[in-house]
Amino acid sequence: MPAGLGLRDLISRPFRKHGYIPLTTFMRRYKIGDYVDIKVNGAVHKGMPHKFYHGRTGHVWNVTKRAIGVEINKQHGFPFINCRRFSTLESQANEGQIPPELLTNRTVLTPDRVIGQYADLVTRVTNFYDEDKGYIVLGGDVFDVPIRKDIVHRVVRWQLAKRQQGTHSTKTISEVSGSGRKPYRQKGTGRARHGTLRGPQFRHGAAMHGPKPRSHAIKLQKKVRRLGLKVALSARTAEGKLLVFEDLAVPSHKTKNIVNYVSQLENTKKVLLVDGGPIDDKLKLATRNLRYVNVLPSIGLNVYSILQHDTLVMTRDAINRIVERMHTPINR
């Protein structure tokens, strides 16, 4: 495929030499208006700005005797990710079996499926008592995206840097307490010359180049943050560690209710409960004293919290809100 040399100029590697090159069979395969995938050879174009064109799409706008011109990063054709609505269905008499009409163009959430195919997944909806509450379709553009560890790393680094307080502060020579008088005369004492006792070389003196209050936040594109959350949700879904509840209602504020439920989960050390709206007071009291159980509203769901917990329990309302949040256009 052609490698990029500019925003509207893509030249294939065999044609990157001087002199007149006739139109070959390779060039004849493309005509104006064709949609193409751009792949850049890293060995040839290492360090050049156009290496960022790799993976993008475009359409051919010009074909010459030695080059193919491609319009890059234009919105042509169908969008890569389509907005999907969630469809639910109440459970039938045959409990545990998924209705066939719900499986049209969808995949049952099983461990042996292929990950990262953007396929809609069908899973059961239960509660703390493992009662059948119907089924839900998880949108493939949110819960079945390819696993990108590099994206998750960037988002976690952005989160940890942004939440640093940055309130550390040291005193400079103008702020430290002490007299401004010259301690002794300039000459005749045999000692080093000093004009103040507040310098960094003295006890109780100033700190040179010490920290001052500042923000540790780094910049990260909104689309990368959004993709990081999708990857984290897809990873928990692929591991079978995403459970969907009808709600997070508990009978009382007793902690033993949550302890009994968590003890029944396999290979689970920490559980994250995510509700759609405000957290119920009973659930807050029931989980407040458990270090391995945390509760979040859907608006607070983030990549770092998902990675810190083995099992992710989300309500139907929370999933609908997360999907709506992922489909909201990014405000640029």
Check if the beta carbon of residue 231 is closer than 8 Å to that of residue 148.
Answer: yes
pLDDT at position 267 is: 83
For residue 78, is pLDDT > 70?
Answer: no
Strand runs labelled E in 109-266 = 120-126, 135-138, 242-245
Q: Which residue has the higher pLDDT, 53 or 133?
A: 133
Instruction: Dig out the tokens for 256 from the structure.
Output: 């033993």
Backbone angles phi, psi at 126, to 5 degrees: -130, -160
Residue 5 is predicted with a pLDDT of: 37
Question: Residue 167: what pLDDT?
Answer: 95
The more confidently predicted of residues 167 and 13 is 167
The mean predicted confidence, pLDDT, of the chain is 79
If you average pLDDT over residues 149-153, what whole number do you get? 95
Given a cut of 50, whether residue 21 has pLDDT beyond it is: no
Query: Which residue carries 């499926």 as its tokens?
Result: 113
What is the C-alpha to C-alpha distance for residues 80 and 184, in angstroms, rounded to an integer? 76
Where do runs of H (alpha helix) occur along the chain? 25-28, 140-143, 149-162, 222-238, 255-263, 281-287, 303-308, 316-327
**Least confident piece of the model among 40-54, 96-110, 223-237:** 40-54
The residue-averaged pLDDT of 37-43 equals: 56
The rounded percent of the chain whose pLDDT value lies above 90 is: 50
Is there a contact between 137 and 122 (Cβ–Cβ < 8 Å)?
A: yes
SS3 60: strand
- Cβ 63 vs Cβ 8: under 8 Å: no
| pLDDT above 70: residue 215 | yes
Is it the case that residue 133 has pLDDT exceeding 50?
Answer: yes
pLDDT of residue 192 exceeding 80: yes
Q: Minimum mean pLDDT among 45-54, 152-161, 289-298: which range?
A: 45-54
Query: Is 308 within 8 Å of 270 (Cβ atoms)?
Result: yes
* Mean pLDDT of all residues in 2-30: 43
Residues whose CB falls within 8 Å of the CB of residue 168, separated by 6 or more in sequence, listed in order? 211, 212, 213
* Model confidence at 89: pLDDT above 60: no
pLDDT at 55 over 50: yes
pLDDT band, very low/low/confident/very high, at 321 (cuts 50, 70, 90): very high
Cβ count near 256 (within 10 Å): 9
CA dihedral for 112, 114, 115, 117, sign (positive or negative): negative
Structure tokens at 7: 């925003």
Establish how many alpha carbons lie within 13 A of residue 90's alpha carbon, considering only the half-sphere containing its beta carbon. 1
Domains in the chain with CATH codes: 3-72 (no CATH), 88-150+220-327 (3.40.1370.10), 170-210 (no CATH)
The predicted model scores a pTM of: 0.66
Confidence of residue 292 (pLDDT cuts 50, 70, 90): very high
